[in-house]
């Protein structure tokens, strides 16, 4: 039995534990600020939740959201699946590898960011 009391995670129906919200990784933030030319103060305030990409141990799917907007909406984002019922809070989603060398944003929702 593995006891990892220092890790907080929710359990999905299939038994896979999903991590909670995290600060943006450097390659995500840089992409939003440099390539998309979004306001740095706004972009670096965002957080992301992730889940393992199907069939891979080194790639994960992610969703970016604004914690302040989630709080205003009364939504507690605990993991990736928590945003399923609140798609309006998802600003960007995509996939990345664990090292950030391969990274892609699938959806362009810059209109919400303005």
pLDDT digits (tens, 9 = 90+) for 11-24: 454 566 788 999 99
Contact between 90 and 109 (Cβ < 8 Å)? yes
pLDDT tens string 93-109: 999 988 878 888 876 55
Average pLDDT on 71-99 reads 90
For position 111, what pLDDT does the model report?
47
Q: Where are the domains of the chain?
A: 18-113
Count of CA atoms in the C-beta half-sphere (13 A) of 9 = 14
Classify each residue of 81-110 as buried b or exposed e, where b means 16 or more C-beta atoms within 10 Å of its C-beta. Answer: ebbeeeeebbbbbbbbeeeeeebebeeeee
| Nearest-angstrom CA–CA distance, 44 and 24 | 7
Categorize the per-residue pLDDT at 33 as very low, low, confident or very high, splitting at 50, 70 and 90: very high
Q: Minimum mean pLDDT among 1-15, 53-67, 76-90: which range? A: 1-15
Rg (CA), the chain: 14
Percent pLDDT > 90 in the chain is 46
Continuous segment of H or E residues that includes residue 105: strand 103-105
pTM of the model as a whole: 0.77
């Amino acid at each position: 039995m593995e006891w990892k009391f220092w890790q907080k995670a929710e359990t999905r129906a299939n038994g896979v534990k999903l991590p909670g919200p995290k600060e943006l990784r450097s390659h995500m933030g840089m992409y939003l600020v440099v390539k998309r030319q979004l306001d740095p103060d706004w972009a670096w305030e965002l957080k992301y939740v992730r889940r393992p990409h199907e069939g891979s141990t080194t790639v994960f799917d992610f969703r970016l959201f604004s914690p302040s907007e989630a709080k205003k909406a009364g939504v507690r984002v605990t993991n990736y699946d928590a945003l399923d019922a609140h798609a309006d809070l998802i600003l960007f989603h995509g996939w990345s590898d664990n090292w950030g060398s391969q990274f892609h944003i699938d959806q362009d929702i810059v209109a919400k960011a303005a």
